[in-house]
Structure 1
Amino acid sequence: MLMRPAELEAIRKGEVDLAFRRWDRPRVKVGTRLRTAVGLVEVVSVEQTSLSALRAEDARRAGAASLGALKDALAQRAERPVFRVGLRYAGTDPRETLRDALPDADEVRTILAGLDRLDAASPIGPWTRTTLRIIDRNPEVRAPELAAELDRPTAEFKRDVRKLKERGLTESLAIGYRLSPRGEVVLDHEDGPRERAPRREGHPLPRTIGAPATRALRAVDVHTLEAVSGWTRRDLAALHGVGPIALDRLEAALAQLGLSFA
């Protein structure tokens, strides 16, 4: 179930708790927790309805400007029924907590055993350690470049990185990846400690701002939201690649941390 960043932010704030979709059949189930850019969004109800049954209160709860605007948004695919989906913000993604949890020796052995099972089930042979190592050597590098270095299709490489992310070993950045603190402990157990560039303090740039804006910010040595807060909106807008949508998404991410533009 796709949701726009502004819609997600409104759900997180509790301002939106409904969504309306044209589907041929229900695409989500009650109790499903969707992983999104703002954390977990839980589906609390799914029911078929009709355009004639919609009211102004439905539009307000769905974040639409008016009942007419909501109906206009549902005008396409008129042959499909309308579904009313109840939503609530269910907290941060548990993977965020997991990736900062440093495992002890026993837990490391358990994690490695799980990686061994992934390797054994793979049609291409062992890949988990190789993938951890290339991400460790190349933080913030785009997936296609990493996949090319391993001579792997990008889509398959991304799929496998997600399996590592599920275990809290990697984290996705606005561009590329990096090992989580948990992943570093696991890889160091395998290979021995290695010297790494100091981890940047602060919260990474949100992935929702897009690659052009991320590259523009990196070019002026802005890698975290805390660094963004030192800039005015006008000065950021002057950077080539940082458009109004990226600025709005940065502003929303700053607000979650109690920060704002300078």
Structure 2
Amino acid sequence: MGQAVGHHLSRGVMKGRYLAGFLLAVLLAALALIWWAKSSRQPPLIVGGELPAPCRDASFEAVAYVVCEIDLRSYDIGVFQSGADGKAFGSLEKFDKAMADQGRPVLLAMNAGMYHQDLTPVGLLVEYGQEKAPLNLADSEGNFFLKPNGVFLVRKDGKTAIMETSAYAAARPDVMFATQSGPMLVIDGRLHPRFEQNGTSRYIRNGVGVRDDNTVVLAISRSEVSLGSFARLFRDALDCRNALFFDGVVSALSNGERMIVGGSYLAGPIIAVTGKKLATQ
């Protein structure tokens, strides 16, 4: 009898240990899943790095930014997505290396529009006067389709502008470079009508504004910011009557040699600044 009781007790102890071990394994797996979910939502790696000549650190509404003011009388600016082989560069780091290998080093590069899984642009892309992807007038979900959206462009005469998409479709300007994205941040001095004052959606974001025919303003936040505050940066602090959102989460900026903001994130269209007349075929 005593042996039977001991046997049952031993089995009970073993079951208890097994159950405790199983519960511990479940707990560890749950903690790992929580850690992964949190880490996957972290903002991009903030690297540091020396700012290019046209760029400066700035602060607006308690958010730190890198702001790059490009005078097109001193610099060239273009939009690029793929190399001579037709393959997408895929990231700022790969783009910088490709340009350096060709003897065409860039002063700065930034992701410049949204893309599909194969890295092709969601909207219009024009490189060196050739349309690589068509204007997208569709209605759908997501930031790109938060109308009005728009097009950043550099005309063949070297002048720059940001146009609302339907205005671009009507005018069909003669452009050397163009990239379509959305939403517009500022439209003729007015903030996008769908933006909240300070919405709960916060990400590291980047975009482009135009101050006049010769001045392009690129900005990227160093920490998370709402679309409303980001739009006010362009209108109120950077004096841009028109500005266009490029992207969030994957936003990145390089100085041609290393990352300043962001990490090794995928990129479709890329905007790049070079010394005057260097960006020619």
> What TM-score results when the alignment is normalised by the length of structure 1?
0.25
Looking at secondary structure, tell me which structure has more strand per residue: 2
Looking at secondary structure, tell me which structure has more helix per residue: 1
- Greater radius of gyration (CA): 2
Higher relative contact order structure (alpha carbons within 8 Å, sequence separation ≥ 6): 2
> What TM-score results when the alignment is normalised by the length of structure 2?
0.24
